[in-house]
Structure 1
Amino acid sequence: MTSPSTGTNGWTKDPDNPNVSYKYIQEYTPPGLIKRIGGGNSSLVGLLEDGTILKYPLIKGEGMKSLTVENAIYEALGHHDRIVRCFGLTSSGLKLEFASQGRVTDYLSSQNPSLELRLRWCRQAAEAVAFLHSKGVIHCDLHTNNLLLNDELNALLSDFQGTFKDLDGYAMESTRYFLPREATNPPNEKTDIFALGTLMYTIMLGVEPYPDLSDAEVEDRYRRQDFPDTHDIICGNTILRCWTGEFENAEAVFQSLALLEQ
C-alpha cells in the first residue's frame, strides 16, 4: 500500500488508535515486468516480457540478501528435472523458469487430479528432495505452495531459501510441516523428510493434516506422535514413516514411492 502522505515506504499512526501503526509499502514495477502473478511475505513474483519469472523484493531496495542466498543455492544445485530452473540474479531480482500450471496448492483446490497424478507428484517431490540432500541443501520450507507444475503437469520444487554450508536464507516450515524440536536445533534431512510426509499427505487428500485444529493443537499432537490416519491412502505407509522418522534418507522415500507406481 502506498503512503497517502509521502508516497514512500514508512510507518503511519492510526488516527483513531495512536497505539496502532500501519506500514505503507510503495508499489513498484521492475523493468520488463508484464504482470504480478503471486508473492509472499518478503517477495513478489511476476511474469517478464521474455517469458521468464522475476522474483523480486516486496519492498524496493530491501530483501535482496535472501534472493542472493537463493541464487547461490540454485548455482550449487545446478540443473535437475525436478527443480525450477534459475537464470541468475539481476539488479531487480531472481530470474526463474515459468511453471505454466502454477502451484500444486491451487491446482488441488480447483481441479480433481487423478490418483495416478497425485502419486506421481509425491514421487517427483521425493526425487527433488533426495537430489537437494545429495548436494548438501536443506529446503526448510517444503509446502504445496512451493511445488509448481509445468506444461506436462510434472512437479518442480522451488523457493530455495533454506541452508547450504554457511548460507542460510532463514526459511522455516509452517506448523503442519514442522518436526517438533528445540528452537536451537537446526533443520536437517530429517526435518525435510518429515515435511515431505505432510506434503504427500496434502497432495493425496487435498487438505493439510488436522485442518480443523489450531496450530498449537497440531504441534501438541505431533509431539505425542499422534498423526492422522493414513491407512486408506495408497502411499499412507510411506507418509507415516516420514512422520515417524523411519526413513534414513529421502532417496529411500523416493524408492518406496517408485515401487508403488510399478
Structure 2
Amino acid sequence: METLPDILKKVGRLPMISHGISGVVFALSESHVIKKPLPGKSEKDQVDIERRIYERLGSHPYITKYFGARDGMIVLERLEYPLRKRLQDLRDDNKLPMADDVVRWASQVTQAIQHVHSQGVMQVDIGAGNVLLNRYGTTKLSDFAGSSLDKSKPLIAPSAHSEHPNMPYTKPSIQSELFAVGSLLYEIETTKVPYADKNDGELERLFKADVYPDTTNLILGEVITKCWMAQYQDASEVVVDIQNIQKN
C-alpha cells in the first residue's frame, strides 16, 4: 500500500478537481484532496498562510477538515462542490432554496465565521464560492489562502459585491467581515449576489451611500440588513439572531 509521501511524489498525475489563483486541488482519494500551490512566491505564501490558519482553527463541524501538510502542500477533506454551484443550479431552474435550507446554511456558515474570528483569523474572501457542501448538504467554510492571521496583511481580495468602500479589505475588521456575511446570506436566500447586474464602480457608489437591495420579504432580511449597516458587534450576535429565526 502506498504511503502518503509516495503519493505526494506523483501528485501531478492525480485527477485535478479545481484550481484557483493560489493553487491546484487534486483528488487524493474519495475522502481526501491535496492542494498544491502554483509556481511563484506569492502563491506559496498564500498556501502557507492557509496551512497555518487550518492548524490554528483545529476541528470544527462547519469548516473543511485539515489533515496535515508536506512539501508545501496541504491535505484536506474531499467535499462535493461549492454552495454557489448549488445556488446557480437552482437559479437556472427558476427555483429558490427551501426555507429550511436557507436558515440551516446561514446558521452553519455564521457559526464557522464566529469560530474563525475567535482564533484571530479574518477570512477576507467570504462568499458562496468558498463555502463547500458535503454529501449530506452540510456547509463547510473553505479556502483560507491569503486570509489574515493575527492581523497580517491579506494576500487576496474579496468580490466587490462583498466589500464596503469604507471598510477596505487591506485592513480587515469584524465589521468588514460581517458586511461580507450579509452579502453571503443574501446570495444564499436569493441565489444572486447583491446587485448582480452592477459593475464595480456602481457597487462602490451604492454601498458608499448605504443603498442596498430590498430585503423586506426575505427570511434573513433583518439579519442581512444589520450586517450591511454594521449593527452587529461580532459574529456571535449574527448566530443568535439566526438561531432565533430557526426557533420560530
TM-score by length of 1: 0.83
Q: Which has the larger radius of gyration?
A: 1
| Equivalent residues in 2 for 1:111-122, closer than 5 Å | 111=90, 112=95, 113-122=97-106
| C-alpha deviation, 1:51, in angstroms | 3.2
Structure 1, unpaired ranges of 5+: 1-28
Cα 1:33/1:121, change in 2 over 3 Å: farther
| C-alpha deviation, 1:258, in angstroms | 0.7
Name whichever structure is richer in helix by fraction: 2
**1:91 is matched with which residue: 65, 71, 95?**
71
Cα 1:231/1:62, change in 2 over 3 Å: closer
Instruction: Indicate conservation of the 8 Å contact 2:168/2:176, yes or no.
Output: no
CA distance in 2, matches of 1:244, 1:207: 19
Cα 1:183/1:209, change in 2 over 3 Å: closer
Cα 1:158/1:30, change in 2 over 3 Å: farther
Q: When the two structures are aligned, how many residues end up with a matched partner? A: 233
CA distance in 2, matches of 1:252, 1:116: 20
Q: CA RMSD in A?
A: 2.1
Q: Deviations over 1:207-249 (max 9, x none)?
A: 1111111111011100000000000101100000000000011
Pick which of 161-170 and 75-84 moved more: 161-170
1:9 corresponding residue in structure 2: none
1:231 corresponding residue in structure 2: 216
**1:103 is matched with which residue: 47, 59, 82?**
82
Instruction: Indicate conservation of the 8 Å contact 1:69/1:168, yes or no.
Output: no
CA distance in 2, matches of 1:184, 1:257: 25
Instruction: Indicate conservation of the 8 Å contact 2:11/2:26, yes or no.
Output: no
1:218 equivalent in alignment to 2:198:
no
**1:42 is matched with which residue: 7, 16, 22?**
22
Instruction: Indicate conservation of the 8 Å contact 1:33/1:49, yes or no.
Output: no
Using CA pairs under 8 Å that are at least 6 residues apart, name the structure with larger relative contact order, 1 or 2. 2
Q: Percent of aligned positions with the same letter in both sequences?
A: 28
| C-alpha deviation, 1:37, in angstroms | 1.4
Name whichever structure is richer in strand by fraction: 1
Q: Deviations over 1:181-217 (max 9, x none)?
A: 2659611111110000000000100011111111110
1:150 equivalent in alignment to 2:134:
yes
Instruction: Indicate conservation of the 8 Å contact 2:158/2:169, yes or no.
Output: no
| C-alpha deviation, 1:64, in angstroms | 2.0
1:174 equivalent in alignment to 2:154:
no
Structure 2, unpaired ranges of 5+: 1-8
CA distance in 1, matches of 2:190, 2:41: 41
CA distance in 2, matches of 1:184, 1:248: 18
Instruction: Indicate conservation of the 8 Å contact 2:187/2:193, yes or no.
Output: yes
CA distance in 2, matches of 1:62, 1:220: 31
Instruction: Indicate conservation of the 8 Å contact 1:33/1:48, yes or no.
Output: no
Instruction: Indicate conservation of the 8 Å contact 1:125/1:156, yes or no.
Output: yes
CA distance in 1, matches of 2:51, 2:108: 22
CA distance in 2, matches of 1:226, 1:50: 45
| Equivalent residues in 2 for 1:60-139, closer than 5 Å | 63-91=43-71, 93-100=73-80, 102-111=81-90, 112=95, 113-139=97-123
- The amino acid of 1:110's aligned partner reads D
| C-alpha deviation, 1:165, in angstroms | 1.5
